A and B are shown apart, each in its own frame.
Chain A
Amino acid sequence: MLAIDPVWQADIQQAHFRLLLDAMAYPGRCLNLKKLPKDGTVALTVLSTLLDAEVSLADPHKLLKEDDWQMLQTKSASTDEADYILCDGSQFTNFTPKTGSLKSPEQSATLILVVNKLGEGELKLNLSGPGIQVNQLLSVTGLAGQWLALHEECNISFPLGVDLILIDDTQIAALPRTTRVEIL
């Protein structure tokens, strides 16, 4: 009876979850999203897959509408406490995300950055580390360099750290805390 946007449907969310696993396993690879939301930010594809009532989200750049919060059924939190943080990649905001603990490094934040374009742009990144055979090149448009500095700073005390998910209009890529990033 109700017309529900495909990004909220279980089969699409499962497909996107698989995509996120692949993105984390192969850092820097740009992977095409299966379905895009009819309304709202493209980040809803990732948020609807990962979030539920057990986790929290911070949206310092107000990319989400009030209706999106109700659909996500997730808790709102500050940037230093949230499990997930959604930001506009072109605007850097200084905050200290949680990086977990030695006993529970997974209790850290995942940053989801909405960028203009993945796979092309002036910002060129040389990636290395687990999941990358030698190196992986990733070009990005609309990503402020300070995010990468924050990524490096938070991940100094590995396994503590944060993971990045980059998303543009049609693709996602991931920079987990194990990935070393060099700006070319």
Chain B
Amino acid sequence: MIQRTNWVSALKTLPFNELLTATAELSTDWTLRPKSMPQSGLGMLKIKESAFNEQFYLGEFCLSSAWLEVTTPEGQVAEGAAQVMDDRVELAEALALCDAILSAQLPGWQKISCMVERGLTIRESSNKERKQMLARTQVDFSLLDEANDKVDDHVSN
């Protein structure tokens, strides 16, 4: 079973409409109640500069969060929450609902579980591609030292 901490990041790789459709279909007869107000805003990236070791705000990123409680007609109750780097509150709500469905294995949880696995595959593929891109941009500075040694030898000769 994939760890709960990975569910939201895996599901976020899937198309938004697919998530909305899946959660809407599953939750037709359910009662959804917010535990806290779903919100969308900006998070601030704080970083320390190296001269005076003081913190400053490097920039902002979009952040949406949702925390909700689900009650099924059969009386099952579950809570789910999600925080996601996105400006769409609806996405956070859908992800929070998925979190609730999977954690309590509410009816239809298998569908969401398959979506998580698919999302995880997409994320791993994306991470691999990023690593390859990063590796291609790395510079081998040791070659410079060899080149400098050869220049010094040539000059002395």
List chain A positions with a Cβ less than 8 A from chain B: 1-4, 8, 67, 70-71, 73
Which stretch in B4-12, B28-36, B55-63 binds the other chain?
Answer: B28-36
Would you call B90 an interface residue if the criterion is a C-beta within 8 Å of the partner chain's C-beta atoms?
Answer: yes
Given A1-B23, A1-B24, A2-B68, A73 contacting B36 (CB threshold 8 A):
yes
10 A-B pairs closest in CB distance: A70-B36, A1-B93, A2-B34, A2-B32, A70-B35, A2-B93, A8-B37, A71-B36, A4-B34, A71-B37
- Cross-chain contact of A1 among B35, B36, B97 (Cβ < 8 A): B97
Contacts of B94 in A (CB 8 A): 1
CB contacts between A and B, total, < 8 Å:
33
- Who on chain B is nearest to A39 by CB? B33
Q: Are A2 and B38 in contact (CB under 8 A)?
A: yes
Contacts of A67 in B (CB 8 A): 35
* Listed residue (A1, A8, A70, A71) with the most chain B CB atoms within 10 angstroms of its CB: A1
- Who on chain B is nearest to A8 by CB? B37
Would you give 11 A-B contacts (Cβ < 8 Å), ordered by A?
A1-B20, A1-B23, A1-B27, A1-B32, A1-B90, A1-B93, A1-B97, A67-B35, A70-B36, A73-B36, A73-B37
A130 to chain B, nearest CB (A): 35
**Residues of chain B from 32 to 77 with CB closer than 8 A to chain A in the complex:** 32-38, 66-68
User: For the complex, what is the distance from the CA of A127 to the CA of B35, rounded to whole Å?
Assistant: 41
User: For the complex, what is the distance from the CA of A70 to the CA of B39, rounded to whole Å?
Assistant: 13
B58 to chain A, nearest CB (A): 23
Contacts of B27 in A (CB 8 A): 1
Contacts of A3 in B (CB 8 A): 32-33
Contacts of B90 in A (CB 8 A): 1
* Listed residue (A2, A3, A4, A8) with the most chain B CB atoms within 10 angstroms of its CB: A2
Contacts of A8 in B (CB 8 A): 34, 37
User: For the complex, what is the distance from the CA of A158 to the CA of B37, rounded to whole Å?
Assistant: 37
Supplied contacts A1-B23, A1-B94, A4-B34, 4 more A-B pairs, CB within 8 Å: A1-B20, A8-B37, A71-B35, A71-B37
Contacts of B67 in A (CB 8 A): 70
User: For the complex, what is the distance from the CA of A69 to the CA of B68, rounded to whole Å?
Assistant: 14
Contacts of B38 in A (CB 8 A): 2, 4
User: For the complex, what is the distance from the CA of A3 to the CA of B38, rounded to whole Å?
Assistant: 11
User: For the complex, what is the distance from the CA of A67 to the CA of B69, rounded to whole Å?
Assistant: 11
B107 to chain A, nearest CB (A): 17
